[in-house]
Structure 1
Amino acid sequence: MYRNFKIVPQIVFGRGCFNQLGDILKPRRTTPDAYMVFVLDDVFKGRPLEGRLPMEKGDMLLPVNVDDEPKTGYIDQLVAQVQAYCPRKPAGVIGIGGGATMDIAKAVSLMLNNPGSAADYQGWDLIKNPAVYHAAVPTLAGTGAEISRTTVLTGPVKKLGINSDFTLFDQIVLDPELLAGVPKDQWFYTGMDCYIHDVESLNGTYLNEFSRAYGEKSLELCRQVFLEDRADKDDKLMMASYFGGMSIAYSQVGACHALSYGLSFVLGVHHGIGCCIAFDYLEEVYPEGVKEFRRMMEKHDIRLPRNLTAKLDEAAMDTMANVALGLVPLWENCFGKDWQRVVTKEWVLELYRRM
């Protein structure tokens, strides 16, 4: 059976389109007491972007901290804050920030309509009830979180997303102006998440012409952004992120993302930099991609952290490997249905030891 997957139904793109957010949300304010929850990366607290939010009387501002990767327990706390703010459910949840902030907004909107803890829904298609209306405004580009059916969370025993058609945003607002001022390293690591999406999708066993069309265009845009000098690089990167996310919607990521999940779970390494660290050791799996990635690092003077795992004990290393190996669809996309003949625990541990 072919997957009958959903995509984000409403999208606005263009410089300055963030100014339309209030008008976009207005039809959702169907009663006088309808309110919105604005999930805002707390890096913007007290900064101009906060003042531009189209908040109306009764709306809730929910600043979130993404110094660490989003955890299921943190989601449960945020949901409790919204429920304490008002017994009525909000008319919408709006995520403004990078991939982690958008994932938090997705998870909060889901958990407002589904009982229990966010940890109960880590996996594929476990969500039973549609989310509260939710929209995204990316201020970073590359993760594809704006178009993804996944909200990536670290739980008590694993790092695994809530993967569901209900996770997808109802609306995304893609304004390249919001990428201005992003620190270079953060811009690079987040953008490389997109580049690695493309490499993994285009070299995967799940690949079909739908995924290839989006992946190839995304890869072309990434090369223009990271290997050329383009005045419109933010516009191109924002679209590369969208196309990269669409490519893996009918495909999957691969070995690099599986390894990065292990790094994140044990060491708390952020997703973008974790992907870069892992990808740099996968030349035997993605030789051309890694070679080009290193050219991009050289052009932008990026130096990756080294010796991250040097002081880890065997128990921590074992946990890291088990988290990575638990992501079966990623390994299957990379190596095929007999992936376990190639991907042994010792091979994974050896890669981690080199990191």
Structure 2
Amino acid sequence: MSYKNYPMVSRVVFGRGCFNQLADIISPKRLNTRAPFIFLVDDVFKGDAWLNSRIPLAYDDQLIYISAKEEPKTSQVDELVEQIILTHKDRPSGIIGIGGGTLLDLAKAVAIMLTNEGESRDYQGWDLVKNPAIYHVGVPTISGTGAEVSRTTVLTGPEKKLGINSDYTPFDQVILDPELTKDVPKEQWFYTGMDCYIHCIESLNGTYLNAFSQSYGEKAYELCKEIFLDNDLSEEESQDKLMMASWHGGMSIAYSQVGVAHAMSYGLSFLLGTKHGIGNCIVFDHLEEFYPEGVALFKKMKKKFDIKLPQGLCADLDEQQFDTMIDVAISLEPLWENALGKNWKQTITREKLRALYEKM
């Protein structure tokens, strides 16, 4: 049997205010004065002097604001790569993504596509990337997705929603500064935090589970329970712990896989553009059959923070639209196999998925 030889983020700095070290960290990586650093920044920070004044722009460095209102698309990656190539004569020294999962995934994908020819849709899948990416740094400003630590960059392409899963995807450097998460709105904080919680439930209940993924998954699960069910955490403690839960949750699926909620939420996202965190919550709310304890606890957390999930998303869909969602969900075979074992096709039929989607 051969085991996965898994790449990890080679450098990470953690601590309140460590974002201020960004200049010191990246300056030795500058190839020359004409090879810029490209900063991809969530446009919620446009006009935010507290953050922007600390972005260490020099020489020909470029700052590009990107909206995270929609999930990242392959076409968006290709446009960014083209824009960077046309603007700068020299290949960039590095890509720095500052934002949530969307921005981190875009930064990883752009870093890969600057050294690999063709379109990003050609690399959606497992181990299709041939050349190492350029130097890339992830700076999460919201916690939960695990995008800062994973070897995938999830993209919606013309035919499917699927990650570029490769050994060249993980960041070379991650900056974990919990202070950057201080202004996240409550709903957003909850949905993205639940992405982490659902990672843990799917990993810990999966058939792919081993001691490596279990040790990370259990830690993230305990942290999530503290953050979302305890009453005595200060805001700062909660920010610090959620940032670490996100890291551990991302690591827990490194050696295992996610499951039913992620597979079905990819379907929602592909067809309806539902954002990943909220999509996971909408799906997970109906998965008692697969994750009874996890869903019961989720409902408790939802009640505690008075979160009202959108209803009736699939109420007005036609046959073709249901088929599209089911096609996307059912194509994610490793997720189903992790959730239900090798014979998952006996349980998961198109009719079964249709009935579940109809509840949402």
TM-score range, shorter chain: over 0.9
Matches within 5 A, 1:1-355: 1-48=2-49, 49-229=51-231, 230-231=233-234, 232-355=237-360
* Cα distance, 1:118 vs structure 2: 0.7
Distance 1:119 1:95 in 2: 20
Distance 1:30 1:103 in 2: 24
Alignment deviations for residues 321-343 of structure 1 (CA, whole Å, 9 cap, x no partner): 01000000000000011110111
Query: In structure 1, how many angstroms separate the alpha carbons of the residues matched to 2:288 and 2:91?
Result: 49
Q: Secondary structure at the match of 2:271?
A: helix
2:33/2:59 contact within 8 Å kept: no
Q: Deviations over 1:146-177 (max 9, x none)?
A: 00001000000110010001000000000000
Residues 34 and 90, structure 2, Cα contact 8 Å, conserved in 1: no
Displacement after TM superposition at 1:51 (Å): 2.1
Q: Secondary structure at the match of 1:160?
A: strand
Shift of 1:31: 2.2
Q: C-alpha displacement at 1:33, in angstroms?
A: 2.4
User: Equivalents in 1 of 2:140, 2:265: separation in Å?
Assistant: 22
| SS across alignment from 1:165 | coil
Residue 4 of structure 1 and its aligned partner are, at CA, apart by 0.8
Deviation, 1:29, is: 1.5
CA distance in 2, matches of 1:340, 1:320: 17
Cα shift at 1:88 = 1.2
Pairwise CA distance, 1:101: 0.5
Structure 1 residue 30, shift from structure 2 partner = 3.5
Aligned length: 355
Partner of 1:93, secondary structure, is strand
Within 1, Cα distance between the matches of 2:5 and 2:203?
18
Instruction: Report the CA distance between 1:34 and its aligned residue.
Output: 2.8
- How far did residue 65 of structure 1 move? 1.5
Point out 4+ residue stretches in structure 1 off by more than 4 angstroms.
none
Q: Given residue 25 of structure 1, which amino acid in structure 2 is its aligned partner?
A: I
CA distance in 1, matches of 2:183, 2:88: 35
Whole-angstrom distance in 2 between the partners of 1:294 and 1:153: 29
CA RMSD of aligned residues (A): 0.7
* Cα distance in 2, alignment partners of residues 160 and 30 from structure 1: 32
Work out the CA distance in 2 between the residues paired with 1:322 and 1:288.
Answer: 28
Q: Deviations over 1:17-67 (max 9, x none)?
A: 000000000110142323100010111111121222011121011111211
The range that moved more, 96-105 or 28-37, is: 28-37
> Between the two proteins, what is the percent identity of the paired residues?
60
1:58-85 per-residue CA deviation (whole Å, 9 max, x = no partner) reads 1011111211111111111111111111
Q: TM-score, normalised by structure 1?
A: 0.99
Residue segments in structure 1 that go unaligned for 5+ positions in a row: none
